[in-house]
Structure 1
Amino acid sequence: MPDDPSSNASSPSSSEASPSPFARLRDRIVATVSHHLPEGSDGGPAIEEPPKRTGSYARWLPLLRVTPWILAVTFAVSFAWDFPGVTVSVAGYAIGLENLLRYTTVSGLIGFGTNWLAITMLFRPRQERPIVGQGLVPSQRERVAYRLAQAVSEELINKRIIIQKIRESGLAAQYRDLLVAMMGDVVTDDEVRAELKTLLRTVLRDVLSTPAVQDRIADFTAEQMEQNAEGLPGVALSAYRLFSEADFQARLRQATRRLPQTVGPMLDRLPAHLDRHGDAIEDLLSRLILRLVGTLDVERIIFENVRAYDEQQLEMLLRRTTNEQLNYIKYLGAVLGIIGGLIIRAPAPTLTVVTTAGLLVYGIDELLFRVQSASSSP
């Protein structure tokens, strides 16, 4: 009668469906240990992004943004009308206003243009060009990455700081307690004990069933006994081996064959053994953690990560924190250019007004600063 194909087809799948003893033991240990593992990082609440500080310049920035456009329109108007023949008298000093619009608008546009060009040249061109070259930040990307990595690794996060934080956190003691608790649950779990005993007994029985292995274990045990037996016990052992070497070897082989039966008692003693040697375990974990930290090259890690940024990513990284300040500097150039144009057109009265206004602003600012400092100090 031919074989049933369905039975043949089902036999491989049934063998694949039944996991090996090692797989069953692994799954059971993972299920037991998972109850002790932390669900997530409990290092405290996440650090919130600090609020964006907006100085007085933030209030003026919307007005400054339209200044270049006003200057451009006024410059175009100056070709049609620019105070022709108009003169004013200030404190007995006659000031001609003809071409005033052109002086101030050209100076303002130059001030804005130079600041815009300087800020743009920090980041553009991103790729090196034959004539205009490359922006400052892209061309110095490697050096920026190196300096940033050096500063961070020396001042912010280095091996010394990491080791100090590990010691302060008591991480080794926490993992020692966690290890003892996990091993206690593992060896007291009935299913784990059954699977582990079965697996170890099978492995030990297979290994120790070879006479050559038994002989090697017996010889090693006898050698260790000879080396560590001193005084009267050593003399007694030597005499016993001299007259009953065959019985001595037979007893060692018999003890070797009984090793698989010691798995259960060994598992029972394991939690207490770990608990008694908790300090040694903590010391071992501390040395392992510190050795791991010692292998870390923090500077190289930071350097390689920053160097991996392309030109656009590096530009966005810098602009994300400085873009508003850079825009303020750029548009402020237009205002300073206007003042420069007025100084060129009418030096004496303009310098007088600008100097007086500057001293007045500085005095008020210094007074307010001292009042705030006095009120905030205890």
Structure 2
Amino acid sequence: MPQEPSSPPPVPEPDTPEPAVPAASVPEAREITRARARDLRDLLARYVRRHLPPRPPAHPRIEEPPRLVGTHARLLPFLRLVPLLLALLFGFSFVWDFPGMTATAFGRTLALDGLLRILSVSGLIGFATNWLAITMLFHPRRKRPVFGQGLIPAQRERIVYRLARAVSEELINEEIIKQKIEEHEIIPKYREMALRVTRGVIEDPGFRTELKALTADYVERVLASEAVRRRLNELIVQKIEEHAGDGLGGLALKAYRFLNEEDFKRRIDRAIHNLPASLDAVLDEFDHLLDRVPVLIEARAEDIEAWATRLVLGFVENLDVHTMIMSNMMQYDERRLEDLLKKTTNEQLNYIKYLGGVLGFFGGLVIWEPLLALAAFGALGLLLWTVDAALFRLTGR
């Protein structure tokens, strides 16, 4: 059996806007005024975002430079083994340490007995000395009765002051900021952008429609309220009396009110009552008024730019970069300051620490045989310096 064609779904009728309900009291009118002010702010923000130009491509983020992996960095994993090897060598020296053995070099007889202990102890002393010196930079974080306090925690305020002063004087300060603003012509660029955005928002038909609807709703809800009209009547009468004063105008007003008080208030009330009725005529003038806004702004563009320039530069001149950095860094506790310094120096500090063990080990040779060791080290140092100088000249760096 053939199916009957289904009828199209009914098209829903457009919703008709509900008539605005006038405010029942003056406090309610105040709430409506605040709400419409928020709506106006949101309306402007929405259309400004719509007409803002696309953001320029962000400046490429400066990545952290890669860590240079040179000879020192390659040696560091092996240098970490130095303290352990020295400790093992020191322990082994109690078991065997060249007992009664000798060696001949350059016609001299060298006694080897006790050499392992001399070298291991010298190396451990070199490592321990550097380790203690580096540790004393940061520890103890808090002052102790016997051990005192680390150099950096004890001088935290001075270090923060010097660091903030160096940054504010050499890296970023008021003059540098002003120079960058003038070099990049930031204020004229933003003035042109503000004019384009203002013209775009005001010429947008959607903005004008929503602004008119917002205005109409506010007028109908507030000015159509009996309570609001009575309050406006009282305020207008009060202002007229204050403006008229005690002169001839004031006497005439008082005489008129004395003879016909009700007619006086009725005329003011009628004028207030007719405001919502004249809304259509006011809204018709909206387009003309909005069209004049960009023209008025462009006519005062130079004054606006001069005012903005004085405002921005005045703000920059009053910007105390040193105090700002100081107040921020003074919030760093000892641990955070230590972490800040170690982020850039920890590898070098470890290298110095473990290298102390190596240098102490070779320093033990000086204790064992001073003249021969010093001569050998001097010749080796001269050879290394000559090779380094020759390679530097060849590579040009």
Superimposed CA distance per residue, residues 244-264 of structure 1 (whole angstroms, 9 cap, x where no aligned partner) = xxxxxxxxxx9xx99x96766
**Counterpart in 1 of 2:350?**
327
**Counterpart in 1 of 2:96?**
81
**Counterpart in 1 of 2:147?**
132
Secondary structure at the aligned position of 1:88 is classed as strand
**Counterpart in 1 of 2:329?**
306
Give 1:194's match in structure 2, choosing from 201, 207, 212. Answer: 212
Structure 1 unmatched runs, 5+: 1-10, 220-253
CA RMSD of aligned residues (A): 3.3
Check conservation: 2:103, 2:109, Cα contact below 8 A: yes
Structure 2 unmatched runs, 5+: 1-23, 224-228, 246-270
Partners in 1 of 2:101 and 2:212 — Cα distance?
A: 108
Distance 1:297 1:19, change over 3 A: closer
Letter matched to residue 62 of structure 1:
P
Superimposed CA distance per residue, residues 129-159 of structure 1 (whole angstroms, 9 cap, x where no aligned partner) = 1110111111111111100000000000000
Give 1:356's match in structure 2, choosing from 360, 379, 384. Answer: 379
| 1:367 to 2:390 alignment | yes
Q: CA deviation at 1:184?
A: 1.9
Give 1:55's match in structure 2, choosing from 66, 70, 74. Answer: 70
**Counterpart in 1 of 2:226?**
none
Letter matched to residue 52 of structure 1:
R
| 1:33 to 2:56 alignment | no
**Counterpart in 2 of 1:274?**
297
Distance 1:294 1:42, change over 3 A: farther
Q: CA deviation at 1:338?
A: 1.2
Distance 1:214 1:280, change over 3 A: farther
Partners in 2 of 1:209 and 1:17 — Cα distance?
A: 19
Q: CA deviation at 1:187?
A: 3.0
Q: Which has the higher helix share?
A: 1
208-217 or 152-161, larger mean C-alpha shift: 208-217
Partners in 1 of 2:39 and 2:153 — Cα distance?
A: 56
Partners in 2 of 1:179 and 1:340 — Cα distance?
A: 73
Check conservation: 2:152, 2:159, Cα contact below 8 A: yes
**TM-score, scaled to structure 1:** 0.76
Distance 1:264 1:207, change over 3 A: farther
Check conservation: 2:123, 2:356, Cα contact below 8 A: yes
Distance 1:42 1:217, change over 3 A: farther
Give 2:174's match in structure 1, choosing from 159, 176, 183. Answer: 159
311-320 or 114-123, larger mean C-alpha shift: 311-320
Count of aligned pairs = 323
**Counterpart in 1 of 2:363?**
340
283-292 or 177-186, larger mean C-alpha shift: 177-186
**Counterpart in 2 of 1:120?**
135
Give 2:195's match in structure 1, choosing from 174, 180, 187. Answer: 180
Check conservation: 1:36, 1:178, Cα contact below 8 A: no
Secondary structure at the aligned position of 1:51 is classed as coil
**Counterpart in 2 of 1:5?**
none
